[in-house]
Amino acid sequence: MENLAALEKHALDLMKNADFGDDAIRVNEAIVAASPRSERAWTRLGRCRMEQRQFDGAIEALRTALSLNSANTIAANLLNEVRKRRAMTPTAAERATTGFTLREFALLETLAPAGACDALRTRIELLLDAVNASAVATRAVEARQRAGAASGSKLFHANSFYPAPGGHIFAFHHGGRWEPQFNLGWYTLPSRPSCMRIGIGFNTSPNGRDADRAAGQERVVAYFEQFQRAIARAWRTELARWMETSGGMLELGSSLEESLQPTQAVERLLALRHAASVEWIFVGRWLFLDRPADAAVLRDRAALARAVRPAPLGQQLQSRITAALVLRRWPGCSDPRLARCR
């Protein structure tokens, strides 16, 4: 007991002198070995390991401290700082990756939204450049140009991605605010576990600074209704089959409908009414960082670009999506809301 008291005194003296070196680590490790429920020693050990750039060990120590006392604000703040430093200090293996790994999602989780966008800018823009080089993107741009709806030669322009609160970044094709969007999104906590989405989205919210918000909302709702009719008429089975084989899921508002089977998700999509009140409707592929096969795709930009380049909903469905992207009506459509927007 006297030995433990002496260790505790030594640990406090080292901390007061801002000494977080090897001796401090040794002393605090000895304390937690003798007294595993000493949250203060675990907290100090976490700080020492953080300062020595032993980030994984620091996270383990601080999580232990918080498991002993969830109200330990010092440990909680240190844990956030460790995660930030860990994200900003890639390992050699992480530096060799070109896509999105635990490090990139940690940046999204720990940095402010605008800061996360800046930190991930290069990787996102390189991915968008790869998408721009695809045949699907070229066809969409050419068709939109013929319709007078596109400027420039790229589907995604510079700064086509945006921050959102709660660990979320999203990107959509240039000029696509009031169209069915070719949409990419990155999520992490607190929104949802680290993942990426790829597919088609309808932003039916009137929010934003666009001058034509009222007309724009009416326009995108009309597109969604035509999308529903096209799926119901000819592609209901194909969409369900694609969702089953490709990890496809439906997102409504902020809710990812994970519990729905593919057929149920398609029926939920088709039954949806009052799209404006939902504000966001998305159907596409989801890649989750905690799934090894998905993580392998996420960390390799070439593999991720291949996942994005093919038609997000299959080749036949892509023809419908491309038609929507270029402001053409669905076959048989007589909706005046779309006619006014051509």
235 — pLDDT class (breaks 50, 70, 90): confident
CA angle 7, 12, 15 (to 5 degrees): 125
**125 plus 260 within the same structural domain:** yes
> For residue 97, is it within any domain?
no
Taking alpha carbons only, the member of 216, 285, 279, 275 closest to residue 250 is: 285
**pLDDT for position 178:** 87
- 14 Cβ partners below 8 Å, 6+ apart? 20, 23, 24, 27
State the distance between the two ends of the chain, measured CA to CA, in whole angstroms: 82
Domain count across the chain: 2
What confidence tens digit (pLDDT) does each residue in 153-167 have? Answer: 788 888 889 999 889
Is the pLDDT assigned to residue 144 strictly greater than 60? yes
**81 plus 124 within the same structural domain:** no
> For residue 268, is it within any domain?
yes
Mean per-residue pLDDT over the chain, rounded: 84
Is the pLDDT assigned to residue 70 strictly greater than 70? yes
**75 plus 126 within the same structural domain:** no
**pLDDT for position 318:** 52
**pLDDT for position 329:** 39
How many Å apart are CA 150 and CA 67, to the nearest integer? Answer: 54
Is the pLDDT assigned to residue 328 strictly greater than 90? no
Among 71-85, 209-223, 275-289, name the most confident range: 275-289
Residue 203 pairs with which residues in a beta bridge?
Answer: 280
- 206 Cβ partners below 8 Å, 6+ apart? 213, 214, 216, 217, 276
In this structure, what token pair is assigned to residue 176? Answer: 């696509």
Main-chain dihedrals φ then ψ at residue 86, nearest 5 degrees: -60, -40
Q: Is 175 left (phi over 0), alpha (psi -120 to 50) or beta?
A: left
**320 plus 215 within the same structural domain:** yes
**275 plus 139 within the same structural domain:** yes
Is the pLDDT assigned to residue 341 strictly greater than 50? no
> For residue 100, is it within any domain?
no
> For residue 240, is it within any domain?
yes
**149 plus 80 within the same structural domain:** no
**58 plus 150 within the same structural domain:** no
Q: Among residues 65, 87, 109, which one ends one of the domains?
A: 87
Higher-confidence position of 339 and 313: 313
**309 plus 192 within the same structural domain:** yes
Taking alpha carbons only, the member of 91, 92, 96 closest to residue 106 is: 91
Q: Find the domain containing 34 and state its range.
A: 2-87
pTM value is: 0.69
